[in-house]
A = this chain, B = another copy of it.
Amino acid sequence: MKAEDLVSISKIVEIIKEKRSFLVTSHIYPDGDAIGSVVGLSKAITLLGKKSYPYISDRIPEQFLKLPGATEIKNRWEGTEIDVAFVLDASNLERIGDVYKVLPSIVINIDHHPDNTYFGNINLVIPTSSSTSEVVFNLVNNLVTDREVATALYYGLISDTGGFMYNNTTNETFEAAAKMIEAGVSAGEVAMELFYSIPYELMCIYIDILKNIKIDKVSRLAWGLIPLEIMEDKIFQNNTSTLLDMILRISEVDTIVLIKEHKDKFRASLRSKNADVGSIARLLGGGGHRGAAAFDLPKSDDIIIETIEKIKNLLGGRT
């Protein structure tokens, strides 16, 4: 860890000790890292005898509600008095939704996205970390050792590394994981909850989508469409991380675009083993990481084919 990060950590520890009430929030469309880091940090603050308000301005997807503590995340503001806000896993303040309006004067920005805008009064941004949960663990591990805190952060860690399979997995990721296990985490149990609990009905939907994907062997791009009726299926619930992962397991596929039909737009989710889909998404008006990104499209008949052609070309010049 860099000297400046250690300075930020000690400043943050001071503020936690000094102040009384803390908002802990993250980005809309929350993923496992957003939810794990919010639950973990919030629980740690509570264990230190302080008031914590975990809050995300969006619905928590069903699959993440099994994480102990995830159901305590609020998404309706109750006018609570707050001394300090922790904003986790968000590159910029536009990503956090409505909670933006109630931020107090002290904002602590903890993240691992390389495009973070350093919007906080204190910024602990470590782009070499696998996940925000890994950064939060390195912060709270100085203050408190607790199984529930470590479990939430382990959840975020394996969520953002695809179970230690993505390129963002480093020796420091494994060292953090080892300490989390020592704090009482069951690696098997968390993995079972996160990766091994897909309802059979949902697996059948995945199989149907998987059977209909198109693969372009030149650009190594796979793409598929998820029509509105599947998107609105209660079982499906926009739960595509496992589906994306299954498609990436195909050797002919390097990059995948899943185009999800919403009522008012298409939303394209990108994943890639090698290409920088973050910069592709930014060119197309969206954003994200190197390996996982997304952008929106207006609903029209030709736009999907046009967009797939654009991405093929971008991949051609890029990989």
- Contact between chains at A178 and B182 (CB < 8 Å): no
Q: How far is A207 from B187 in the complex, measured between Cα atoms in Å?
A: 28
- Contact between chains at A252 and B178 (CB < 8 Å): no
Q: How far is A173 from B178 in the complex, measured between Cα atoms in Å?
A: 8
Q: Which residues of B contact A173 (CB under 8 A)?
A: 187
Instruction: Count residues of chain A with CB under 8 A from any CB of chain B.
Output: 47
- Contact between chains at B165 and A171 (CB < 8 Å): no
Interface residues of A in 174-197 (CB under 8 A from B): 174-175, 177-179, 181-182, 186-189, 191-192, 195-197
| A273 interface contact, C-beta 8 A | yes
| A7 interface contact, C-beta 8 A | no
Interface residues of A in 220-259 (CB under 8 A from B): 242, 246, 248-253
Partner of A191, one of B165, B177, B191, B198: B165
Q: Closest Cβ of chain B: how far from A256's Cβ, in Å?
A: 11
- Contact between chains at A242 and B252 (CB < 8 Å): no
Copies of this chain, how many? Answer: 2
Q: Which residues of B contact A196 (CB under 8 A)?
A: 165, 248-249, 251, 273
Q: Which residues of B contact A195 (CB under 8 A)?
A: 165, 249
- Contact between chains at A273 and B192 (CB < 8 Å): yes
Q: Closest Cβ of chain B: how far from A58's Cβ, in Å?
A: 24
Partner of A174, one of B166, B175, B192, B251: B175
- Contact between chains at A203 and B165 (CB < 8 Å): no
Q: How far is A166 from B187 in the complex, measured between Cα atoms in Å?
A: 7
Partner of A199, one of B158, B163, B187, B251: B251
| A170 interface contact, C-beta 8 A | yes
Partner of A207, one of B165, B181, B210, B253: B210
Q: Closest Cβ of chain B: how far from A291's Cβ, in Å?
A: 9
| A21 interface contact, C-beta 8 A | no
Partner of A187, one of B165, B242, B246, B248: B165
Q: Which residues of B contact A203 (CB under 8 A)?
A: 210, 249-250
> Which A residues lie at the B interface, using CB under 8 A?
158, 162-175, 177-179, 181-182, 186-189, 191-192, 195-200, 203-204, 207, 210-211, 215, 242, 246, 248-253, 273
A–B complex contacts, Cβ < 8 Å, 29 sampled: A162-B191, A163-B165, A164-B164, A164-B187, A164-B191, A165-B188, A165-B191, A165-B196, A166-B188, A167-B186, A169-B181, A170-B187, A171-B181, A172-B178, A174-B175, A174-B178, A175-B175, A177-B177, A178-B178, A192-B273, A196-B248, A196-B249, A197-B249, A199-B250, A199-B251, A200-B251, A200-B253, A203-B250, A246-B246
